Amino acid sequence: MTTTRTRADRRRLAVAAVIGHLVVIAGAALLREPTLWFAVGLMGPGLCLCVGTAAVLRKAVGRPGSAAKDLDERELLLRNRAHYAAFQGICVLMLVDLGYGLYAAGQPDSGSLLSAMTAALFVFGTSLPALWLAWRLPDDDPEDFEGVTPA
């Protein structure tokens, strides 16, 4: 049975998710008339990759990535750090979106261009806590799982 409990596995998934997000962002940047179908062709597989791996990562990082009310002190600290790092990342993504909006303002379809980029950056921003936790969480202690059979 394969598992995503090791840091190396989580980091590989995080890299795959970031690549998927970057493909979606590239598709949103190319979403204009001469490259419309190429952009749509990029965005479909990119969305599958980024959303799929982000969902697996959310499961892999477990409780610190959730809104569970019964987290211990360590899990609360990790969750708060992840959410703060994600907040900072979303602020950077908003600046990128602002810069793209200024660029796209002179384009004929500026509204749809900016909407596509905002949506792509929003999807990226929603996965930032799981990406941060996947990169930063240490490997689980094997002693924590003694006597537990895999599901």
* Residue 22 maps to a domain: yes
- Give the end-to-end CA distance of the chain in Å, rounded to a whole number: 10
Q: How many domains does the chain have?
A: 1
* Residue 106 maps to a domain: yes
* Residue 151 maps to a domain: no
* Tens-binned pLDDT, residue by residue, of the chain (151 aa): 455 578 888 899 999 999 999 999 999 888 887 888 888 898 999 999 998 998 888 888 876 656 667 777 888 888 889 899 999 999 999 999 999 999 888 888 888 889 999 999 999 999 999 899 888 887 765 555 455 555 4
Q: Where are the beta strands (DSSP E) in 38-148?
A: none
* Residue 145 maps to a domain: no
* Residue 54 maps to a domain: yes
* Residue 56 maps to a domain: yes
Q: Which residues contact 14 (CB under 8 A, 6 or more apart)?
A: 53, 57, 131, 134, 135
* Residue 148 maps to a domain: no
Q: Which pTM value belongs to this model?
A: 0.79
Cα torsion 130, 135, 136, 142: sign: positive
Which range marks the domain in which residue 112 is found?
A: 7-63+71-137
DSSP one-letter code for 105:
T
Q: Given the structure tokens 């796209």, which residue do they identify?
A: 104
In this predicted structure, what is the pLDDT of residue 52?
A: 92
In this predicted structure, what is the pLDDT of residue 1?
A: 41
Q: Please state, in angstroms and rounded to a whole number, the distance separating the CA atoms of residues 129 and 94.
A: 16
* Residue 149 maps to a domain: no
